Amino acid sequence: MNKQTIHSRYGQTVRRFFFCAVMSLLALPAAVVFFPSCASGGNTVPEQPPAPVQSGAETPGAFSEIWAYLMAGEEEFLDPSLPVSDIGYFGAGLSSEGQLTGVPDRRSLDGIYTGRVHLVVADSNSALLHFCLNPRYPVRNRLLEDIAEAAGKFDGVQIDFEAVRENDRENFFSFLGELKARIAPKPLSAALYARTRDIPDDPYEYARVEPHTDRILVMAYDEHWSGGAPGPVASMDWCARVAEYARQKIPAGKLVMGLPFYGRAWGEPDPSKAYRFSTLRTHMTEKGIDLAGTGTENGHPHFAYTENVTVQVYFDNAESVFRRAELYRTGGTDKIGFWRLGQEDPAIWEKLSLRGNTPASGPRQTEAD
């Protein structure tokens, strides 16, 4: 290799080095622009994006629908400022012949309430419901006609049949389906007992009722009732299980979780029952009462004595109702309903709000309709 060749290759090498150095310097600002964390030392934690603004679904106490039952004759308990989207107006019932009776006057709420009002049709007589639901009897079709006609003055209808027997379940499901078709496009809802598991031949099977209704209100109360042992009307653990089961069976858009406003009391001992004469004589002896000295009222022997009774009371205040409502909201249910107006701790309304007045289905009923 001669000197000329050596000098030539040396020059090429120098030029290549100089070119690479220049290009590296030109690329450095771009690196600073696109990788600022690297430019400042490489160990800086990237800046976090701003926290998202809370949506209505994330706001404590905010629900898309808040239902409340109102008894006819107790309209004074309906404050127009309450965050209530839907009223279940209680209510119509069934006569001994299966005819619709006791439909409340929708006009009683004119000027008081501007939300949706649903006619509640309730009954708890299993024998009567058997005939009213069975398509073999003409009373069923007449009842369907009566309810559909009465629905004309309301924004929707709710069925609250609390004594349907297992062998009437298929007739109950078809009754709901036919009623829904008759009152469309107005919404049909059903109030159903709380469940925590599947029950064989359940006449209130959520998955069977759901296709025939626009809303299902799960009556998540009376866990403990007056005829049983003392306890909460709706304990938090029990409500959590009820809600979990309901969410598995009912679409979120149709599920309304019911909450109680009322409390219950139990007394022990409870002397309210029938007695044998021999038992009464034992009581009289224990209490030091002389049979010959008992008084009479219109010819009936009578005596009185004082007994120490322990009374246990379970009730809800605004805080406990709100905790239960939040249990449902944070679990994914944004519709709740209360039994019933006039029984509540008024402070609960300060904790609740509506994040929209989404209709169950169809327009709100107006006088022009």
User: Judging by beta carbons within 10 Å of its beta carbon (0-12, 13-18, 19+), is residue 261 exposed, middle or buried?
Assistant: buried
Contact 219, 184 (CB under 8 A): no
Angstrom distance (rounded) from CA 125 to CA 260:
23
- Minimal CA–CA distance to 75: which of 364, 268, 340? 340
* Active site annotation includes 344: no
Contact 92, 103 (CB under 8 A): yes
Contact 171, 129 (CB under 8 A): no
Encoded tokens for 125: 């007589």
Q: How many separate helices (H) and strands (E) can be counted in the chain?
A: 9, 15
Contact 328, 336 (CB under 8 A): yes
Q: Which residues contact 306 (CB under 8 A, 6 or more apart)?
A: none
Amino acid found at 180: K
Q: How far, CA to CA in Å, does 159 sit from each of 46, 151, 162, 241, 279?
A: 57, 12, 9, 24, 45
Q: How far, CA to CA in Å, does 197 sit from each of 205, 233, 248, 255, 260?
A: 10, 19, 10, 17, 21
Angstrom distance (rounded) from CA 106 to CA 365:
10
Q: Of 162, 223, 244, 268, which residue is the catalytic one?
A: 162
CA angle 96, 204, 240 (to 5 degrees): 130
Encoded tokens for 247: 């969410």
Indicate the DSSP class of residue 356: -
Catalytic residues: 162
